[in-house]
Amino acid sequence: MSDLPLSERPQPPVAPRGEHVEMLHGERRADPYQWMRHRDDPEVTAYLEAENAYTAAMTAHTKPLQDALYDEMLARIKEDDASVPARRGEWYYYSRTETGKAYPIFCRTHGEHGSEQIYFDQNAEAAGHEFYQLGALEVSPDHRLLAILEDVSGYEDFTLRVRELASGAWLPDRVEKLGFGLAWASDSATIFYLTTDDAKRANRVWRHALGADGAADAEVFHEASELNNVGVQRARSGEFIVISSSSFTDSEVRLVPAARPTEPAVVVRALRDHVEYDVEPGAGWLYVCTNEGAPNFKVMRAPLADPGAWEEWLPHRPEAFVEAAHVFQRFVVVQERQRGLRTLRVTDLERGATHYVDFPQAAYGIHVGANPEFDASDLRFTYSSMVTPDTVFDYDLRTQARVVKKKEQVLGGYDESAYAIERVEAVARDGTRVPVSLVYRTPFERDASRPLLLYAYGSYGYTLEPTFSSMRVSLLDRGFAFGIAHVRGGQEMGRQWYDDGKMQQKMNTFTDFIDVAEHLVRERYTSADQLAANGGSAGGLLMGVIANLRPDLFHTIVADVPFVDVINTMLDASIPLTAQEWLQWGNPHEPDAYACIRAYSPYDNVAPRGYPRMLVTSGVNDSRVAFWEPAKWVAKLRATKTDTRVLLLKMNMGAGHGGASGRYERLRETAFRYAFIIDQ
């Protein structure tokens, strides 16, 4: 379709241009598409629907390919499946899926071999809703009640509901417009939850007594700083409710005795500029991960009776970035990152012995599970690589023996020996060595003949693990290689890796990705006319920047929910998440920050030049990256670019930042993206 003469193609909608001009730091800023910000304006809705109609027409010829991809991906999935049960006291909790049902079913047994009780069927609750997601699902300590947070719009406005498990009846308790996170007190009659401000910043913790009117709920903590987000959870030890308040540069933690939920919260240590810390209560001690005097973080501990009296427990080591401490009655498992890969450091508190858990492959990912039992001697974690499906292990923390509890079944004859992974390094323009994880089907000749999809994120210190995806096999089996560029802005190589990819150093994220792409072309893994790029959210920002900086290097770009109108968003503190993110991107009200952002902001740098073939996706209820950012960007690209290559906007009119909520619809969305890339 995209190769048809322009006169024979469906014609894209032409966005009306408006007048919106302002002066900022001596620059005249004209924004002709500012009118798109009004979601409830019928003209905006009509324009978005016209974009969707154009996208449907331009991709109609790929429908057989979309269907084939969907069928392939679905055929690899064991639709009737169950998670490994996790013990909590005398109960074993798990979830399972059934063929044809979009959502999980949550179950439990009394004892390991007891009869199944379904305590929450998400399919039943989602019936009648176009969108349905959970922000929390927590069973009370006495196992009698279930508290959930549900969202039926995608805007992440959650409603608290409580169910009596014996009868299945919902209690009258109901509190609306909440944020993520809740915690039960030990009495199983008190719930802590969060509310958000107008910018959707979690800023208050409340205490709700079951049976009471929500209007009478007690405020436990209020964070006034617009730079900080609040969180709440019940500690694994069960002894405390942990309330955190953190920005991108500092944090503060409060503890409420879970057995005495009406007592005031006690501050572990008062907020200090540029000092971050997390707290995990243990047996008689608090374990504290902090960057105080430790760029790559260290672990301190303090007696419960004197939480501010920190003493060093695991010193700072430049070669090891401490991500978290998982604390149990007799063991502490420190989650570290060395040479870009996650490791687990186990300390037996009774014997004072320490060892590392070994992992075999050159590139892999580990996810430590919930492990709800404080007195456990086994650690449950999931291991996978780009060729090895998710494998759940129970690891004996004392004997170091590991037992495979489950390995994800990939149906349809998947053979991991038919694929290979590589961990390579690309040298960035400033000499920094940037890791790249690659997977492809063998045999693989580096003759520049293979298409390659390169993915990255590179913001907020979020690390992309090189893990398995059964959906990705559909690309690999069609000759694609797939790569993850571990660019600066994540924390793959430690905290400095993150610091070197934000604020005034943000351009490193974008040039790293370009330098990785050039390396892969130079080393003949692919060629520029067979190279596709993909990223979402802040990774979508990355896609927008590379489209402006090096449109010649990428044949096709897919930008999902892209954060592309950076200056206009960061100027408006009323937009969800904006103010706190000044510590991530800079505050463009300040001249230096404005100049930095102005140099890369995709919307502000659209120019009359040729651009790659592009697909842009978004959701109209997105509360994290407003729908109008990608909509404005696409409109400006259409009006400005000099080529006739395809440019599509696919707007989900009933979802938010994460796209569709059901598993089958998510497969459809992936099949659509892959079909676009393959077709182009």
Q: What is the mean pLDDT of each run of 10 residues along the chain (680 residues)?
A: 67 89 94 93 95 97 98 96 97 97 97 96 95 96 98 93 97 96 97 94 97 91 95 98 96 98 97 96 98 98 96 97 98 96 97 94 92 97 97 98 97 96 97 97 97 98 96 98 98 96 98 98 98 98 98 98 96 86 95 97 98 96 90 97 97 81 92 98
pLDDT at 661: 79
pLDDT at 573: 87
> Token digits for 16?
């009306």
> Token digits for 210?
């079951």
Residues 6+ apart with CB under 8 A from 441: 418, 419, 476, 477, 479
pLDDT digits (tens, 9 = 90+) for 80-123: 999 999 999 999 999 999 999 999 999 999 999 999 999 999 99
pLDDT at 215: 82
Residues catalogued as catalytic = 537, 622, 657
pLDDT at 6: 65
One-letter-per-residue 3-state SS of 27-79: EEEECCCHHHHCCCCHHHHHHHHHHHHHHHHHHHHHHHHHHHHHHHHHHHECC
Give CA torsion, residues 535, 538, 540, 544, to 10 deg: -130
Give CA torsion, residues 183, 187, 189, 195, to 10 deg: -20
Ramachandran area for residue 226 (φ above 0: left; ψ -120 to 50: alpha; else beta): alpha
One-letter-per-residue 3-state SS of 300-349: EEEECCCCCCCEEEECCECCEEEEEEEECCCEEEEEEEECCEEEEEEEEC
pLDDT at 16: 86
Residues 6+ apart with CB under 8 A from 489: 457, 458, 459, 460, 461, 497, 498, 500, 501, 502, 506, 508, 509, 538
pLDDT at 362: 81
| Domains and their CATH numbers in the chain | 82-124 (no CATH), 129-267 (2.130.10.120), 413-661 (3.40.50.1820)
Which residue do the tokens 């293979």 mark? 450
Query: What are the percentages of helix, strand and coil residues in the chain, rounded to 5?
Result: 20, 35, 45
Cα distances from 505 to residues 136, 502, 577, in angstroms, run 36, 5, 21
pLDDT at 107: 98
pLDDT at 135: 96
